[in-house]
């Protein structure tokens, strides 16, 4: 279990729980795909990406629990794209909107420590409220990031059971002692003694059968559960309740294109997010 942070910031899990209680559980991706940029009449360059991202922040601040910039779609524009990401994360902080950098970082030793320094250290221009991590070099390889998050009151979301077809070839290995189950159980140990921990899980919105087959107990993890797949990827609020009903208070459903396609008008984009949020309350 990670040591408590001493930076004076409330733990990420507590801050997320409060944001979910106030605004609802929805997390909206900030995904400046080339097609969406074109639909918004924006250029496919760093300037277009930044205008897109800052418009999403303006529309959603005070309306949703969290936003999730997709790092790769900034990174494809090089240093200027990463500078746009820095300004987007700063805008989230200034607006009081929780940010999850979807970077899916994972490595060992000093390299993992450097990733942790980039995404989780106070004063870093890339510091987000939380970052996604890949544990497939072993859950223990994430220790530098887990410690950095605990020290700064930030969080992480660890890939556990994803809905892409290729994921099963790694995540399901071991059956009753599967890789995915081991990741969930390791996450539970990080979150001991919390109501909603700061070490979250990424669980695809359409993996219900696998959860049962692999004997995975999400409630015991005390983890916020990021569930990609709502909307354009095919999952409905009813699907989410069927899969995650027992852990609904832990669930952070994510939607991107299904909301972002309503831009660039700020009011229309905000209304689309509110409508999705309302559907999750029903």
Catalytic residues: 104
Q: Residue 252's closest CA among 204, 190, 220?
A: 204
Between the alpha carbon of residue 110 and those of residues 103, 117, 144, 193, 266, the distances in Å are 18, 10, 8, 29, 42
Q: What is the dihedral of CA 110, 120, 107, 194, to 10 degrees?
A: 110
Beta bridge partners of 70: 102
Dist. CA 130–CA 141, nearest whole Å: 18
* Distance from chain centroid for Cα 23: 16
**Quick one: DSSP state of residue 70?**
B
Whether the ω angle into residue 60 lies within 30 degrees of 0, i.e. cis, is no
Distance of CA 216 to the CA centre of its chain: 20
Report angle CA 5, 6, 10 to the nearest 5 degrees. 65
In a 3-state reduction of DSSP, which class is residue 254? strand
For residue 233, give Cα distances in angstroms to 81, 100, 164, 230, 254: 26, 20, 11, 6, 10
Token code pair at residue 9: 């910031």
Give which of 84, 64, 60, 65 is closest to 73, Cα–Cα.
84
């Amino acid at each position: 279990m990670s040591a408590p942070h001493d930076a004076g910031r409330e733990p990420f899990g507590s801050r997320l729980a409060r944001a979910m209680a106030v605004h609802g559980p929805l997390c909206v991706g900030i995904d400046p795909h080339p097609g969406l940029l074109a639909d918004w009449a924006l250029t496919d360059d760093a300037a277009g990406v930044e205008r897109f991202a800052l418009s999403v922040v303006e529309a959603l601040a005070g309306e949703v629990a969290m936003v999730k910039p997709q790092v790769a779609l900034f990174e494809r524009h090089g240093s200027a794209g990463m500078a746009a990401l820095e300004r987007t994360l700063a805008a989230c902080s200034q607006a009081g909107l929780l940010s999850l950098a979807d970077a899916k970082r994972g490595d060992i030793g000093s390299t993992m420590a450097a990733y942790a320094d980039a995404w989780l250290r106070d004063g870093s221009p890339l510091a987000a409220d939380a970052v996604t991590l890949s544990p497939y070099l072993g859950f223990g390889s994430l220790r530098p990031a887990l410690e950095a998050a605990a020290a700064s009151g930030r969080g992480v979301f660890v890939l556990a059971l994803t809905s892409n077809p290729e994921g099963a070839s790694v995540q399901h290995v071991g059956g009753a002692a599967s890789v995915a189950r081991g990741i969930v159980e390791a996450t539970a140990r990080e979150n001991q003694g919390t109501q909603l921990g700061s070490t979250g899980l990424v669980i695809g919105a359409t993996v219900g059968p696998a959860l049962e087959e692999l004997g995975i107990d999400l409630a015991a993890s005390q983890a916020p559960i990021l569930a990609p797949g709502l909307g354009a990827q095919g999952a409905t609020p009813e699907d989410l309740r069927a899969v995650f009903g027992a852990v609904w208070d832990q669930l952070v459903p994510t939607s991107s294109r299904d909301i972002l396609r309503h831009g660039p008008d700020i009011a229309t984009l905000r209304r689309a997010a509110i409508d999705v949020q309302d559907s999750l309350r029903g």
